[in-house]
A = this chain, B = another copy of it.
Amino acid sequence: MRADYCIVSGGLGPTADDLTAACAAQAAGVPLRTYEPWLEHLRRRWAKIRPNETMPANNLRQAEVPGSAEVLGNPDGSAPAFALRIDRCQFFFLPGVPREYHRIVEEMVLPRLVAATGNAILRSRILHCYGVTESKLDELVSAVREAHPEVRFGFRTKFPENHLSLSALAADAATAEASLSRVERKCREALGPFVYGADGVTFAQALGEELARRGETICCAESCTGGLLTQLLTEVGGSSRWTAGAFVTYSNDLKHSALGVPREMLQQHGAVSEAVVRAMAEGARERSGATWSAAITGIAGPDGGTADKPVGTVWLGLCGPPGTTARLAKYRGDRGQVRLQAAYGALQLLREALGPTRVP
């Protein structure tokens, strides 16, 4: 055991395979005890959420913690986090549900770590990039990284994005912030248009908020992405400011009836064609009254590919005040990856129309 602090997650729930509290007690050489205030909490919580249903008895197991543990609780769930010292290591046992875990780390664990380790302040920033591979990203910032050992660089892929995380540890907040700002500026210079945002903003959100600043809106016309693009635009709170809606025209009939794509065009060019993607974009803009419309039609796979139009062939279209543009893309990957890249490709068309942000 070489670590001074250790965070353990998961296995605190009510079911028979949730064994973490029992194992922790055994490792600490103490018996389990029932933490009475949590029993009360569990009963009140169940009565509030499911007033017409009896609470299964196994739920009460969640109030059992190692005898020497400090119960930290859980603002969002039924399994309480607890802190426990085993030999020289301070353990934190947390529920594995990501939403509960993150909040407990933020509100209960980090403050204890800061208090225990003295006055060290950690500040971090994550730059979100699109259109650049992870290895190219590393290469572009390598000179900055070498010149600034006071900031730690990390790289994470969140397909199809790549993220660069910068962390500065210092004795006080002002020093940490100053290091971080200096390095962030240099990284942004090195990365140029690849950076679309920072610290948790999504690609669709960054574009949506730019539209909202301009007082503009978007409507989508989706075929192979089947609602994914619109879902990316609307998963963000407040997205009604920039999203009018969408026509998900999966069938050719609906492309005709909902968007006015001529039947002869569908027959002559096929649904996956420049003519159809332009007609879809123009139909969606006209019928929604939105400022912009983005259209996608392609072959997501796994079936439906031909020699001429293999799986991954996607036509992207954008219609707006400057007119209509279209782009042919050829994506690699499975169905989910083709769809996600197509949704990003359509957003990138919009991004280029809004400013000088072309990426390779």
Interface residues of A (CB under 8 A from B): 13-18, 49-50, 53, 55-59, 97, 99, 133-139, 142, 145, 153-155, 157, 217, 219-220, 222, 225-231, 233-235, 237-240, 243-251, 253-254, 257-258, 287-289, 301-303, 332, 334-336, 339, 360
Contact status A56-B135, CB under 8 Å = yes
Q: A16: which B residues are within 8 A, CB to CB? A: 138, 142, 145, 153, 155
- Please name all residues of chain B whose beta carbon is closer than 8 Å to the beta carbon of A217 when the two chains form the complex: 251
Q: Which residues of B contact A249 (CB under 8 A)?
A: 245
* Listed residue (A49, A142, A251, A287) with the most chain B CB atoms within 10 angstroms of its CB: A251
Given contacts A228-B234, A235-B335, A253-B289, 14 further A-B contacts (CB under 8 A): A13-B157, A15-B155, A18-B155, A56-B133, A56-B138, A56-B139, A58-B142, A222-B227, A227-B228, A227-B231, A227-B234, A246-B246, A247-B247, A247-B258
CB pairs A–B below 8 angstroms (18 shown): A13-B134, A14-B138, A15-B135, A16-B142, A16-B153, A17-B153, A17-B154, A18-B155, A50-B133, A217-B251, A220-B227, A227-B227, A227-B246, A227-B248, A237-B301, A237-B303, A243-B250, A254-B288
- Report the copy number of this chain in the oligomer: 2
Q: How far is the CB of A263 from chain B (nearest CB, A)?
A: 14
Complex Cα spacing A335 to B234, Å:
10
Complex alpha-carbon distance, A134 and B219, angstroms = 39
**Are A244 and B251 CB-contacts (below 8 A) given A56-B138, A230-B226, A233-B226?**
yes
Decide: A248 and B220 in contact? CB cutoff 8 A. Answer: yes
CA distance A15 to B135 in the complex (A): 6
Q: Is the CB of A257 within 8 A of B15?
A: no
A245 touches which of B17, B139, B228, B254 (Cβ 8 Å): B254
A10 to chain B, nearest CB (A): 10
Establish whether residues B248 and A139, one from each chain, have CB atoms under 8 Å apart when the complex forms: no
Contact B138 A58 (CB under 8 A): yes
Query: How far is it, in angstroms, between the C-alpha of A243 and the C-alpha of B253 when the chains are bound?
Result: 12
A233 partner residues in chain B, CB cutoff 8 A: 226-227
Enumerate chain B residues within 8 angstroms of A254, measured Cβ to Cβ.
219, 244-245, 288
Q: How far is the CA of A233 from the CA of B226 in the complex (A)?
A: 8
Q: Are B287 and A258 in contact (CB under 8 A)?
A: yes
Shortest Cβ distance from residue A267 to the other chain B in the assembled complex, whole angstroms: 17
User: Nearest Cβ in chain B — how far from A104, in angstroms?
Assistant: 16
A240 in complex: contacting residue of B13, B49, B244, B250, CB < 8 Å: B250
Taking the closest CB of chain B, its distance from the CB of A167, in whole angstroms, is: 11
Residues of chain B within 8 A (CB-CB) of A287 are 257-258
The answer, among B135, B138, B248, for a CB contact under 8 Å with A246, is B248
In the complex, the chain B residue whose C-beta lies closest to that of A230 is B227
Q: Are B234 and A231 neighbours in the complex by a CB distance under 8 Å? A: no
Contacts of A59 in B (CB 8 A): 135
A237 and B56 within 8 A (CB): no
The residue in chain B whose Cβ has the minimal distance to the Cβ of A332 is B49
Question: What residues of chain B lie closer than 8 Å to A50, measured between beta carbons?
Answer: 133
Measured between beta carbons, the chain B residues less than 8 angstroms from A15 are 134-135, 137-138, 155
Which B residues are CB-close (under 8 A) to A360? Answer: 53
Query: Chain B nearest CB: distance from A4 CB in Å?
Result: 20
